[in-house]
Amino acid sequence: MTELRVSHLIDEADELLDNKFHIGSYCLFMNTDDVQDILSKIRAILPEEIKTAETILKRRDDIYMEAQNRADRIINEAQNTAANILSESELIRAVREKAAKIQEQVKQNCEEMKNKAMEESDALRKSAYQESLQIREGAQSYAEEVLNNLERDIEQVHRIVRNGQEYLSQQKNRSVKEPVTREVNNTQNKQYIEQ
């Protein structure tokens, strides 16, 4: 409302200024009291207008500060949220990297265990083969020894049998010729057979 009054008073003063006349380079007003009255009214209204403008400016500054504070809060919250998201992203990335490293380590460990098991298996197979060769050689040596002993025993038995046969043959021949010397010959033949 005050704004309308000031605007109206300025329009009236403008009209009065239009109703002037010129004498050379001078300008004369027909009704100076009216212009002065309008200017007084404007001066009376202006302090109120200035106060209203100052209030509006102050309110505008307060609104601006509040908006600025709110904007700063929103920006801070957004930055914090972004930092948290980045932090979570970095954490997730770090966890993924750690998981990938662990997975790679597990693969390496499994490969090493497989290689070690293969080496141990080869070593055991070679050891078992060597042991079987030694056992076979030992068995062959033992069998050879047993056969040699058996051959010796058979030869000894064969010799005993041959000696026994010779003895019997000699006894047969002697019994016909010499009955008295039989006892002496029996003792000698026992010794001969046992040899």
- C-alpha to C-alpha distance for 9 and 35, rounded to whole angstroms: 10
Residue type, 22: H
- C-alpha to C-alpha distance for 21 and 30, rounded to whole angstroms: 8
Residue type, 12: E
Backbone angles phi, psi at 21, to 5 degrees: -135, 155
Cβ atoms within 10 A of the Cβ of 193, count? 15
> Could you say which residues of the chain have pLDDT below 70?
1-7, 13-32, 35, 43, 46-50, 176-195
- Cα atoms in the 13 Å half-sphere on the side-chain side of 22: 3
Instruction: Retrieve residue 160's tokens.
Output: 């005993």
Given the structure tokens 């400016």, which residue do they identify? 57
3 alpha-carbon distance from chain centroid: 75
The single-letter DSSP state of residue 30 is S
Give, in order, the Cα–Cα distances in Å from 27 to each of 11, 24, 34, 76, 171.
Answer: 19, 8, 16, 64, 197
pTM of the entire structure?
Answer: 0.33
pLDDT on residue 114: 86
Residue type, 108: Q
- C-alpha to C-alpha distance for 105 and 13, rounded to whole angstroms: 94
User: What radius of gyration do the chain's Cα atoms show?
Assistant: 71
Residue type, 139: A
pLDDT on residue 19: 63
Query: In 93-115, which positions are buried (b, 16+ CB within 10 angstroms) versus exposed (e)?
Result: eeeeeeeeeeeeeeeeeeeeeee
Q: Delimit the domains of the chain by residue range.
A: 2-94, 156-194
Instruction: Retrieve residue 117's tokens.
Output: 């098991």
CB contact at 8 A, 67 and 38? no
pLDDT on residue 141: 87
pLDDT on residue 44: 74
Q: Which helix (H) or strand (E) holds 47?
A: helix 32-177
